[in-house]
Structure 1
Amino acid sequence: MAKNTVRQDEKLNEIVKRDIIKRLYSYLKPYKFEVFQVLVLMGVVIGVNLLNPYFFRLGIDEYIANKDIKGLFLLGGLVILINIVSMICSRWRIKKMARITNNILVTIRHQLYEHIQKLSFEFFDNRPNGKIIARIIGDVNSLNNLFTSSVTNLIPDLVTLIAVVVIMISMNLKLALVSLVTLPFLLVFMFLVEVTCRKRWQLFRKKNSNMKGYIYENFSGIRVVQSFAAQDKTSRGFSEILAELNAAFIKAAKASDLFWPLVEISWGVGSVIVFWYGVKLLNTGEISVGLLVAFISYISMFWRPIMNLSNFYNNLITNMAAAERIFEIMDIKPDIEDKKCAKTMPKIKGNVVFRHVNFSYDDNEIVLKDINFSVKAGETIALVGPTGAGKTTIVNLIARFYDVDSGEVLIDGYNVSDVRLETLRSQMGIMLQDTFLFSGTIKENIRYGKLDATDEEIIKAAKAAYAHDFIMKLPNGYDTDINERGTRLSVGQRQLIAFARALLADPRILILDEATSSIDTHTERLVQKGIERLLKGRTSFVIAHRLSTIQNADRIFVIDDGRIKEMGNHDELMRMKGIYYNLFMSQFKFLDNKKAV
């Protein structure tokens, strides 16, 4: 999958328009009864609207012509009464349809959110988070008018249009045919406009996504922006993106605005032709004045639905791009998912085996090359080596965040690709290099390791991670609110909280990726005691660049260039005087020189 940046337009797999509409309207199925009620209410409104011109004709040709004032008043009273009923029904159906639409949007947004959560790391690695958020929020919101209009406008307008045509034909066939003469030209022009319109709204959606991605990225890195006094630079970048967005919107809007003039011109020309031909028929006595007045009213009723339908069509084209972007994400199949015959992972003992494992993030570069090792339950394995050697990739494969290109990863004899992900990962404790805390309290962040944990269990885990003392010094202790990513805490404090979260999970396999990289020397000594206590009785994989922290590991794997170059405990590797020996001695000399300074 090609990577996408905040300044780069997303490439979409275009979906056939018919398929998009079909999928959108499938969301109406659970609300069949409610939609039926809305249709009944609309039927009342349409019926009253269709009767109004007939009542005008009746009043002119019957009651006024015969000077029947009493009958005219009774007719007027009836018209007022049924129009009041029509107004009530119209108000009721709008509220009901708004509720249905809101429920549908909630369903779509929830489905999209759940689906995105199932996608692999590769999906998130290749696109900015802001663009993902744009689809969940902005694109889903764009469907609001589409669903509302489709039921409250499309159906009644189509019914009205058909009914009006039938009535006009029954009243006078010649006038009816004349009134339809401009319709074929309108349909041809609208089709031509639609082709351009759809492409332009697709481009606008992409530019809008770029803007949201740019905003999210720069606000997420606001400390870097301010640290380097780069506000002017980011403002200029934002202005450029806004200019592109504005240009795309104006182009799309210009194309969309062609719908209204086309309909109005057709309406105007058609009305003039009907007036001209109607007067001719009136002079010959073929039609009455009342019939011509009624027919003119029906002409307005004929073109008004067409105007509304063109508006709906315009709305459909405008929001088609949003629907495309939503379904394009929903159609992405997760790279990592349970097989149909996936088994439940039983309670893990902790035996881990890699057999001839090869892996690459893309086809250009192989990250792991023929990795083979066997780890017994309860062993502590340290992974060391230069940046980019493949250490983190190994632990990612154990947790099956990625699938191997070839070979096998086995836990207690079970291939990790053959077991259910939830039952595998729920028995692992993972503390990644990138410490992430959620907005909320410290207690809630630690409880993320075990959602049903008691306060006592949380405090116990925090004490084991030596986080309890600094937590209690905070204004509200464990109930202290922290913002997203915990930026008000020091890096070391954030890592201690994340460590307590991993401890609380009481995992059978523990993965620590640079767990002590940002903790001061004094705190590190305390955490090391907690780690030693935690490592007992469970299989552990510890990634560390600070080699002093992993000297007590049962075995140390030296990873370089995607291969295990050396394997053994600290003493064995030091005697070999190979890669590990050189790494350790270089760090020792660096620290020794630092102390001397």
Structure 2
Amino acid sequence: MSDESNMMQEDEVTEKVYDSRLMARLLKFARKYWHLFLLSVLFLFAATLVDLARPYLMGTAIDEYIKKSNIAALNRLGLYFVLLIAAGFVFNLLQIYVLSYAGQYIIYNIRQLVFTHLQKLPLSFYDKNPVGRLVTRITNDTETLNDMYTNVLITLLKDFSILAGTLVIMFRLNTTLTLITLAVMPAVLVLTVIFRIKIRKVYRNVRTAIAKVNSAISENISGMRVIQLFNKEKPNFESFHKIGREYYKASMREVVTFGLFRPLIEMVSSLAISLLIWFGGGKVMDNSLEFGVLYALVNYIALLFQPINDLAEKYNILQSSMAASERIFMILDTPAEEDAGNLLLDEKTASGDIEFKNVWFAYNGENWVLKDVSFKVPAGGTVAIVGHTGAGKTSVINLLSRFYEIQRGDILINGVSIKDIQKASLRKAIGVVLQDVFLFSGKLKDNIRLNEEGITDEKLQSVTRHVNADGFISRLPNGYEEEVMERGSTFSSGQRQLLAFARALAFDPAILVLDEATSSIDTETEMLIQDALTKLTENRTTIIIAHRLSTIQHADKIIVLHKGRVHESGTHQELLAARGMYYSLYQLQYQQQAAGGTNQ
């Protein structure tokens, strides 16, 4: 199943508008701020009382003061009304501020929790989950939850309070007219049920469509180099246009569904007011009902239908929040990287021999990538691992750093199983330089020290000189303060490799791993790279995953992997004399280099 299919399935994880299990977990995040929510509720009830009081005061003014020409009392009531409106404004402002303050802190905590948990997940999790999806979880989904905390949880209380308060006051003003008005409520219930059924399907289609759009955007931006290289802008645009049209149609159906619900409810509200005026107007004319009471009832009808009108928006927010929370909890419920080891590597142990002992490993099931692999790297020595693509070379590095756990066999450092060593301690002792060097956005010096405060500027400059990186750094406009663009796009492959060497040396690891670290260097910096490698590997136990065989001839031992097994091993000269697979690889590369030189 494709990543896009997985993403769309995940975007439809729930169709429930309300899930008590998820809501209970969400409320746990709010528990810390209960006092703010309580304060918000108090302000909310105060604002609600103001809303409920206004029609009543207007009706009283009409019947008691305007009708009886009591100007002095009317002036006092006018003053009270102004003060009431001002108080309502203050209560609403305070309620919104306090609720938003609590909501933002809750979302901040959730976002921090998700990010922290992501850092603890095994690499196998990232093999199955696209980066774009995870970014969406931390940004969009957490923001969706913010809408629930601030626009649903507390404001639902206000809606129920207005409904209950309005009905109580209406019945006290006139029971008969209130019952006549409520005759339209069955129509409201029918419309609400139909809306819920329709909007659920529409909402699901919108989520599926936006997932396709996000996937297409992410994929096309990441592959822009290939798109432009093969001149595929037009067909790619047509494909994206089709996906965009699907999202447009789904969104328009959502707009139409919401657009129909509100006017229909407004129409029912107008019908209720018409009934009220029809029956109530006659009573006013025969003096069996005060005009002010009728005026108040008309205003209360409008107040009664206000929460019902808001139902559509709250329904959408609640459904979005349930889906977003389930996706967030799917991440939080993913087991963190296990670490049964409790031993700490000391400098002496970390500097010892490394031994792979009958190691079997598979990423999935029993599709073995490594099969009964055994070899030893002597303390302070250098071992190179070569082989065709897919032979299992990089897996060796992943296992040594315990990014993945082996299924059979053992890996020992100075006789100690790495399963017994704390992962943080193990990885601190291993410095890895990858073929594809990852540079973070920010200052160049921070990309070398990786926010490790113990690495001073003096040490930084010392290690860059040692690995020959100071030459190009000194030519940069801002030197070590130079801003690095995303993924270090403004640096050449060789410059990024030198920075990776400096990064590794700055942390002074006992064990050094070079994973195809010299396979993509440019000619101008090749000599600098080779000199840096010699300095970097000095007095360190080193494992080199190599593609260019010319770079590993000095290794103490070369191991040839083939289909997950150790096919042969020995020094460069021994393997050439044996005329086996290594000899064939060497001859092939020699011929390619010769052909390249001739073509040049």
Q: Structure 1 length as normaliser, TM-score?
A: 0.90
1:160 alignment partner in structure 2 = 162
Matches within 5 A, 1:116-135: 116-135=118-137
1:338 partner letter: D
d(CA) in 2 for partners of 1:235, 1:573: 53
Consecutive unaligned residues in structure 2, runs of 5 or more: none
Deviation sequence 1:393-424 (CA, Å, 0-9, x none): 11111112222233333434554445443222
Deviation sequence 1:482-528 (CA, Å, 0-9, x none): 31122222211111111211121111221101111122456434433
Shift, 1:192, TM fit:
4.0
1:373 alignment partner in structure 2 = 375
Alignment match of 2:563 (pick from 548, 561, 564): 561
d(CA) in 2 for partners of 1:383, 1:511: 11
Shift, 1:178, TM fit:
3.6
Question: Share of identical aligned residues, percent?
Answer: 36
1:87 alignment partner in structure 2 = 89
1:552 alignment partner in structure 2 = 554
Shift, 1:49, TM fit:
1.6
Contact 1:57 1:290 in 2 (8 A): yes
2:8 partner letter: D
1:437 alignment partner in structure 2 = 439
2:408 alignment partner in structure 1 = 406
SS at match of 1:257: helix
Shift, 1:216, TM fit:
3.4
Matches within 5 A, 1:441-480: 441-448=443-450, 450-480=452-482
**Residue 413 to residue 180, structure 1, CA distance change in 2 (3 Å):** farther
2:258 alignment partner in structure 1 = 256
Contact 2:11 2:211 in 1 (8 A): no
SS at match of 1:542: strand
SS at match of 1:163: helix
Contact 2:440 2:487 in 1 (8 A): yes
Shift, 1:320, TM fit:
4.2
Consecutive unaligned residues in structure 1, runs of 5 or more: none
Deviation sequence 1:340-374 (CA, Å, 0-9, x none): x7554544234333333322223473212222334
Alignment match of 1:113 (pick from 112, 115, 124): 115
SS at match of 1:358: strand
Shift, 1:441, TM fit:
2.8
Deviation sequence 1:132-156 (CA, Å, 0-9, x none): 3333333333344333212563222
d(CA) in 2 for partners of 1:346, 1:188: 72
d(CA) in 2 for partners of 1:345, 1:276: 88
After TM superposition, the structure 1 stretch with the greater mean CA deviation from structure 2, 2-11 or 576-585, is 2-11
Alignment match of 2:542 (pick from 540, 543, 559): 540
After TM superposition, the structure 1 stretch with the greater mean CA deviation from structure 2, 320-329 or 427-436, is 320-329
**Residue 199 to residue 457, structure 1, CA distance change in 2 (3 Å):** farther
SS at match of 1:299: helix
Matches within 5 A, 1:164-243: 164-243=166-245
1:337 counterpart = 2:338? yes
After TM superposition, the structure 1 stretch with the greater mean CA deviation from structure 2, 220-229 or 78-87, is 220-229
**Residue 560 to residue 203, structure 1, CA distance change in 2 (3 Å):** farther
**Residue 426 to residue 492, structure 1, CA distance change in 2 (3 Å):** same
1:76 counterpart = 2:82? no
1:464 partner letter: H
**Residue 280 to residue 421, structure 1, CA distance change in 2 (3 Å):** farther
2:385 partner letter: L
**Residue 247 to residue 196, structure 1, CA distance change in 2 (3 Å):** same
Alignment match of 1:45 (pick from 44, 47, 52): 47
1:492 alignment partner in structure 2 = 494
2:387 alignment partner in structure 1 = 385
d(CA) in 2 for partners of 1:430, 1:58: 81
1:4 alignment partner in structure 2 = 3
Shift, 1:594, TM fit:
4.5
1:31 alignment partner in structure 2 = 33
d(CA) in 1 for partners of 2:84, 2:592: 92
1:481 alignment partner in structure 2 = 483
Contact 1:198 1:321 in 2 (8 A): no
d(CA) in 1 for partners of 2:372, 2:179: 79
**Residue 25 to residue 287, structure 1, CA distance change in 2 (3 Å):** farther
**Residue 260 to residue 404, structure 1, CA distance change in 2 (3 Å):** farther
Alignment match of 1:423 (pick from 421, 425, 435): 425
Contact 1:499 1:515 in 2 (8 A): no
1:313 alignment partner in structure 2 = 315
Shift, 1:127, TM fit:
4.1
1:169 partner letter: F
2:434 partner letter: L
Contact 1:342 1:420 in 2 (8 A): yes
Contact 2:44 2:92 in 1 (8 A): yes
1:468 partner letter: D
Contact 1:555 1:567 in 2 (8 A): yes
Aligned length, in residue pairs: 594
d(CA) in 1 for partners of 2:197, 2:26: 20
d(CA) in 2 for partners of 1:329, 1:184: 43
1:544 partner letter: A
1:394 counterpart = 2:396? yes
After TM superposition, the structure 1 stretch with the greater mean CA deviation from structure 2, 579-588 or 552-561, is 579-588
SS at match of 1:362: coil
d(CA) in 2 for partners of 1:194, 1:407: 57
2:356 alignment partner in structure 1 = 354
2:302 alignment partner in structure 1 = 300
Contact 1:259 1:314 in 2 (8 A): no
Contact 1:6 1:128 in 2 (8 A): no
2:512 alignment partner in structure 1 = 510
Shift, 1:559, TM fit:
0.6
SS at match of 1:357: strand
**Residue 212 to residue 439, structure 1, CA distance change in 2 (3 Å):** same
2:70 partner letter: D
**Residue 108 to residue 484, structure 1, CA distance change in 2 (3 Å):** same
d(CA) in 2 for partners of 1:418, 1:455: 35
Contact 1:197 1:317 in 2 (8 A): no
Deviation sequence 1:517-555 (CA, Å, 0-9, x none): 122456434433332332233222101111121122222
SS at match of 1:453: coil
d(CA) in 2 for partners of 1:538, 1:36: 61
d(CA) in 1 for partners of 2:190, 2:525: 75
Contact 1:157 1:309 in 2 (8 A): no
Shift, 1:280, TM fit:
6.8
SS at match of 2:514: strand
d(CA) in 2 for partners of 1:120, 1:253: 42
d(CA) in 2 for partners of 1:297, 1:256: 25
SS at match of 1:138: helix
1:246 partner letter: Y
1:575 alignment partner in structure 2 = 577
d(CA) in 1 for partners of 2:201, 2:414: 54
Shift, 1:587, TM fit:
2.5
d(CA) in 1 for partners of 2:320, 2:177: 35
After TM superposition, the structure 1 stretch with the greater mean CA deviation from structure 2, 273-282 or 169-178, is 273-282
d(CA) in 1 for partners of 2:194, 2:374: 62
Deviation sequence 1:206-252 (CA, Å, 0-9, x none): 43243334333333443333333333233223322322221222233
Contact 2:46 2:88 in 1 (8 A): yes
**Alignment root-mean-square deviation, CA:** 3.0
d(CA) in 2 for partners of 1:250, 1:403: 49
Contact 2:12 2:323 in 1 (8 A): no
After TM superposition, the structure 1 stretch with the greater mean CA deviation from structure 2, 213-222 or 454-463, is 213-222
d(CA) in 1 for partners of 2:372, 2:319: 52
Contact 1:7 1:241 in 2 (8 A): no
Contact 2:355 2:412 in 1 (8 A): yes
Q: Structure 2 length as normaliser, TM-score?
A: 0.89
